[in-house]
Amino acid sequence: MLKKLLSSILVLQICFVAGAQITKAPLVKEGDGPYTQLIIRGVTLINGTGAPPFGPVDIVIEKNRIIKIQNVGSPSLPINAARRPALKEGGKEINCEGMYAMPGFIDMHGHIGGKEQGTPAEYVFKLWMAHGITTIRDPSAGNGLSWVLEHKTKSLENTITAPRIFAYTAFGQGSKTPITNAEEARTWVRENAKNGADGIKFFGAPPEVMDAAIRENKVLGLRSTCHHAQVDVARWNVVNSAKAGMTSMEHWYGLPEALFEDKTIQNFPADYNYNNEEHRFEEAGKLWKQAAAPYTPHWNKVMSDLLAVDFTLDPTFNIYDANRDLHRARRAEWHENYTLPSLWKFYEPSFQSHGSYWVNWGTEQEVEWKNNYRLWMTFVNEYKNRGGRVTAGSDNGFIYETYGFGYIRELELLREAGFHPLEVIRSATLYGAQALGQEKDLGSVEVGKLADIVIVNANPLKNLQVLYGTGAVHLTPDNKITRIGGVQYTVKDGIVYDAKKLLRDVKNMVDVEKKKTNWQLKQPGVE
């Protein structure tokens, strides 16, 4: 039933059925630690709370917890050795002078690969960890809940190299019959909680079903999110979800519909077919201009309604980025070395591959999408300005967005929307932890929290591109072209991973697959 349901309503998702799981992550001990004591020496700290950078500091970790953050001097002056915490016998220290530390990043929309994309778990996990992503929320548990929970446990035990995982089951997953009423909805929600899920991802359902399921899930203490698919959004939009007690929304569907003033249904052309993805996404690019104009009374009312219930926006700007500049997305410099041949094939124009709707995509569609982004970003930025929570999610593995790299692109797009770089980092860290209900342990570099830390050898506030695995181009005073950045260390649970080594592992995976078929990356239609 689920497969049939999702095939008609899923957008930017892949439906996985039993037996279609990707290759599991190997059991392997990578990284160093955890240590009885680990000291990160002399780093400049961006702690994720919105505080400006400060340092140099020594960050003291015992096993997997931060126990001390010590100021050890002033910028441009030698470290004050007298202030330094002493290294205990058996402890480990890392010299990070001149580097920047941030909390581990949280990807709030992290699908763990896909069978159709040919992406094994190790490939996906290492790309995430190489980009400082130490926590992900898997929205829909596409490999099956038991598969995801197995990897969640192994990640918590650090027997695999992977971010910590929060499993949000697709609503209705595993049900033998359609869920058609409130009692069936509540029954499924209770069973989902018993099965160990951390939450639910909805795509839409009859109002009675949505209301009952969201409310029961909240009573059980679990979180929820929704991709408000077009097939149900006319009768249940974002405001309905928020008032019922939903935690967050994905993408932006359902929000413009709540902002309609002169209509109740999107202006669908007469020949529109939702299952035709070219139709779906071309018309989606015209949706925001049908909504109330920014700062008008209705626009303000919808925003106030969402703010009043502490609702979270997870926009996933990056996953639609190709819609406004397809050439740029296809030519991203990391594709040659880090995009698997099977994933590249999945990206190419296709009537079958999800998100590969490049049938007659060109100038007119891109202009519409550029205008769409302008209005969408205006709402998201103002929501943040009025105290709303906005998180960072990638939805990578589709539409020319490769895991890890696409997440950093999401941070760039939050910056484009109007976020200060410190607000960007907060969305990627503390706000993600809050949305997951994990702010006591995650989301900031503070005493008492888990030791999830990203360390980079360049200032990300000056240029977020230094967070890409490929780094950022830098011209030296003597006219030499170099690269700076790329995450240096990813620390998860006090275990120190060489992020650049993880990236080399990924490149090796890609190289092996290339050699099998003598494959070379070529642009679509080019011989």
For 492-526, write each residue's pLDDT tens digit: 999 999 999 999 999 999 999 999 989 999 999 98
pLDDT at 1: 36
User: pLDDT band at 18, cuts 50/70/90?
Assistant: very low
Give per-residue pLDDT as tens, 375-400: 999 999 999 999 999 999 999 999 99
Q: What is the pLDDT of residue 335?
A: 97
Q: Look at residue 20 in the predicted model and tell me its pLDDT.
A: 78
**Quick count: other Cβ atoms within 10 Å of Cβ 286?**
17
pLDDT per residue over 246-284, tens digit each?
999 999 999 999 999 999 999 999 999 999 999 999 999
Over residues 412-430, the mean pLDDT reads 98
Instruction: pLDDT band for 370, please (50, 70, 90 cuts).
Output: very high
- In angstroms, the first-to-last Cα distance of the chain is 42
Residue 188 makes CB contacts below 8 A (sequence gap 6+) with 171, 172, 175, 179, 213
pLDDT at 209 over 70: yes
Q: Domains plus CATH for the chain?
A: 2-28+104-436 (3.20.20.140)
- pTM higher than 0.85: yes
Q: How far apart are CA 200 and CA 174, in angstroms?
A: 13
| Mean pLDDT value across the chain | 95
The span from the CA of 118 to the CA of 22, in Å, is: 7
Give which of 63, 104, 98, 108 is closest to 78, Cα–Cα.
98
Give the per-residue pLDDT at 29: 85
Asked if residues 450 and 64 have their Cβ atoms less than 8 Å apart, the reply is yes
Q: What mean pLDDT do residues 164-175 have?
A: 97
Whether 2 shows a pLDDT value over 90: the answer reads no
- What pLDDT does 497 receive? 98
- In terms of DSSP H, where are the helices of 69-160? 121-130, 145-157
423-439 pLDDT, tens digit each: 999 999 999 999 999 99
pLDDT tens for each residue of 442-497: 999 999 999 999 999 999 999 999 999 999 999 999 999 999 999 999 999 999 99
According to the model, what pLDDT value does residue 17 have?
Answer: 37
CB-based contacts of 499: which residues, under 8 Å, 6+ apart? 129, 130, 131, 132, 469, 486, 487, 488, 489, 490
Q: Which residue has the higher pLDDT, 275 or 7?
A: 275
According to DSSP, residue 357 is labeled: -
The reply to whether omega before 315 is within 30° of 0 (cis) is: no
* Residue pair 411/464 in contact by the 8 Å Cβ criterion: yes
Whether 298 has a pLDDT exceeding 60, the answer reads yes
54-62 vs 65-71, strand pairing mode: antiparallel
Provide the pLDDT for residue 28: 87
